[in-house]
Chain A
Amino acid sequence: GAVVSQHPSRVICKSGTSVKIECRSLDFQATTMFWYRQFPKQSLMLMATSNEGSKATYEQGVEKDKFLINHASLTLSTLTVTSAHPEDSSFYICSARGIRHSNYGYTFGSGTRLTVV
C-alpha cells in the first residue's frame, strides 16, 4: 500500500515554456503533499507544502508565481514550472502523507527529471 505515482518521469522543454508535473496517491487519500527538488550532487530541498483545498506554503527562496502548485483533490497534486529556464533543470519529486500509512507517512513519487534547453 501507500503508492504515489508521479508523471512524467522525464521531460525536456524549451526555455520559456511551462511544464506540469502530476503526483497521484493511488491507494490512499493524501491530505498533505510535499514538493522537493534535487540538483546534481545536492540534497533534496523542500520547495512547498500543500494541503488539499488550500493554498500551498512555499519555503523561503521559492517563487510561488513560478512554481504553481494545485492540490484540488485528496489524490492529486500538480506542480507547474512556468516560464522555465535552464537553471530550473532539476529532479523534482513529490511526497504525500495521508490516512492509512504505516511508515510515518512520507511516501515519495518516482520523480521527474526536468531538462530545460
Chain B
Amino acid sequence: RKEVEQDPGPFNVPEGATVAFNCTYSNSASQSFFWYRQDCRKEPKLLMSVYSSGNEDGRFTAQLNRASQYISLLIRDSKLSDSATYLCVVNKGGGADGLTFGKGTHLIIQP
C-alpha cells in the first residue's frame, strides 16, 4: 500500500463548480497533515494544514478522519486560477520530521 494515495485525475471541472479531493495515508504515526498546491514544474506551496476538527480557509475546506486515515479537500466556487496539482501531505511521524507526499490530484478548471 502506498504511503499516501490520491486519485491522480485529471478532474475537469467547470468554473464556479465545487470539487472534492480525497486521500488516504498508511502511517498511523503521522501527526501533521497538509494540502499543498503544485503548479507545473514549480515547488509545492502550502494551501492549508488539516486538523481533526476540520478547518476552512475561504473557499477551501479540509477534513481529517484519523480513524479512517482519510483526508479531504473541498473547493467551492472554483476559479480558473485553482487549476493545479493538489498534493496530500503527511509528516513521517515517530520523531522524524520529513514529509511524505502523495502523487497529487490534477485539477483543471474550465471556463
Q: Which chain B residues have a beta carbon within 8 Å of chain A's beta carbons?
A: 4, 32, 34, 41-46, 49, 87, 92, 96-104
Contacts and interface: CB of A to CB of B under 8 A. Distances in A.
A43 B99 contact: no
A32 B104 contact: no
A30 to B, nearest CB: 12
B43 A111 contact: yes
Contacts of B46: 103, 106
Interface of A: 32, 34, 36, 41-46, 49, 59, 91, 93, 95, 97, 103-104, 106, 108-111, 113
Contacts of A45: 101
8 contacts: A34-B97, A36-B101, A41-B103, A45-B101, A49-B96, A103-B49, A104-B32, A106-B99
Contacts, number: 48
A108 B89 CA distance: 14
Contacts of B103: 41-43
A111 B38 CA distance: 12
A104 B50 CA distance: 11
Nearest to B103: A43
B27 to A, nearest CB: 13
Contacts of B98: 34, 46, 49, 59
B45 A108 contact: yes
Contacts of B41: 91, 113
Contacts of B42: 110-111
Contacts of A113: 41
A43 B97 contact: no
B43 A93 contact: yes
A43 B87 contact: yes
B43 A108 contact: yes
B47 to A, nearest CB: 10
A45 B92 CA distance: 12
A59 B96 CA distance: 11
